[in-house]
A = this chain, B = another copy of it.
Amino acid sequence: MEKLRGACIVGQSGGPTAVINSSIYGAIKTALESDEITRVFGASHGIVGVINNELFDLNMEDPKELALLQYTPASALGSCRYKIEDPEKDESDYKRILEVFRRHDVRYFFYNGGNDSMDTCEKISRYMQKVGYECRIIGIPKTIDNDLCCTDHCPGYGSAAKYIATSLMEISKDTAVYDIGAITIVEIMGRNAGWLTAAAALGRNSLEDCGPDLVYLPEVPFDLEKFVDDVHRRYINDRNVIIAVSEGIRDNNGKLISQYSLSQCNQQDAFGHVQLGGLAAFLTATVKARTGAKVRGIELSLLQRCAAHCASKTDIDEAFLAGKVAVESAINGETDKMVSFVRDYVNGKYVCRTALFPLKEAANLEKKVPLEWITADGTGVTKEFFDYAMPLIQGEPERPLENSLPRYARLRKVLVK
């Protein structure tokens, strides 16, 4: 293997998670300790920062503060949702990136994001190869949605799952205190994949009376009439009913249920994605009208993706591992790959190993909850899902606190001149 000396850039993209900074800490720490990597830069707001030559000099950071990144939610370097053009169609972004790479002798690029980010990595790599600029590019996965292909699971998912499971246990305790009965509808993130909504049920694994009674994932077409019947039946029998619904549930024709209501909450974001929201309100109004029950809608909203205070130690450690392996692999000559997780069991104990997957295969594909992990009536998940998800939420990190509130990393963020 040929040694390649030069600087590296670490960047973050897409929606934040509770542990995405643990991944860049794994990458930054490994890069700072390596002989081949001469300088470590952080891209301000992902690829946009590279294009604009806005780079932080991470060699200037206090190592103690960098270590706190493991417990600091959301993208510490800043993120972006920039969709880079195909290099075959428009080279201008790539020319800027090449110029920045050349100026700082960047030979390594580590990009921490979801499938759009893997696509960005793949395009940059293709361009660099075309123009003959030697550079190794590795993607570091992240997403609370857990919908990346080519990996057993994604960093970020375990912590979000743990927060959702814990919150649903608390909600079911809270809503059960009165004897008048109530229906509570909790809306959970996930446009196309139901991994997070399925996690709402994890509490039932330990306490049978804790967590949602009914769970609706986007993998199963949603029938509003059947839903109202399911809920009403439970309400008659049990009085208190907790329901977890994915924001992405759609009817038989593929229409989002959240679009049934023309609520002011619904709108498109700047990039044409429908911004979800208002689903809980719509379902709440529908169930209230049809059952006459006391019905409350709750959206977990951003809380579920940034709840570092309820993170899984397994997730934090694995996120770190993904960043570390990305840098080590690149130093060892790998490029055009995404770090992926492979599940193993040693003496019945869950172990997470890593592998590398071609970026091309990882980009732009979504992994959904297998239909056989969803109960036949479409309102629950099976033991296979519990077996899959429980190892990912294990362990309590020793989060640093200051006056009993989180002590997050304070980075200097010195811009490179």
Contact = CB atoms under 8 A, between A and B. Distances in A.
A406 B166 contact: yes
Interface stretch (A55-63, A305-313, A320-328): A305-313
B404 A173 contact: no
A107 to B, nearest CB: 27
Contacts of A179: 45, 48, 78, 80
Nearest to A300: B303
A207 interface: yes
Interface stretch (A85-93, A221-229, A395-403): A395-403
B73 A173 contact: yes
A334 to B, nearest CB: 28
A396 B407 CA distance: 14
A120 interface: no
A80 B179 CA distance: 7
A270 interface: yes
A203 interface: yes
A117 B298 CA distance: 28
Contacts of A299: 298-299, 301
Interface string A110-143: 0000000000000000000000000000000000
Nearest to A205: B403
Nearest to A395: B404
Contacts of A412: none
B410 A207 contact: yes
A174 B74 CA distance: 5
Contacts of A169: 405-406, 408
A265 interface: yes
A171 interface: yes
Contacts of A401: 396
Interface in A176-225: 176-180, 184, 202-203, 205-207, 210
Interface string A44-70: 010010000000000000000000000
B78 A302 contact: no
Contact of A173 (B72, B162, B298, B300): B72
A335 interface: no
B171 A312 contact: no
A263 B167 CA distance: 26
Interface in A383-417: 390, 393-396, 401-408, 410
A15 to B, nearest CB: 8
A72 B174 CA distance: 10
A75 interface: yes
Given A16-B173, A74-B173, A308-B170, A403 B408 contact: no
Interface string A241-276: 000000000000000000000011100011000000
A81 interface: yes
Nearest to A176: B74
A284 interface: yes
Nearest to A285: B264
A170 B310 CA distance: 11
Contacts of A307: 167, 170
Interface string A275-304: 000000100110000000010111111110
Given A206-B405, A395-B404, A302 B79 contact: no
Contact of A298 (B202, B203, B264, B302): B302
9 contacts: A79-B178, A81-B178, A162-B405, A166-B309, A167-B307, A173-B408, A175-B302, A264-B284, A312-B404
Given A166-B406, A310-B310, A393-B404, 6 more contacts: A74-B177, A206-B405, A207-B408, A298-B301, A298-B302, A395-B404
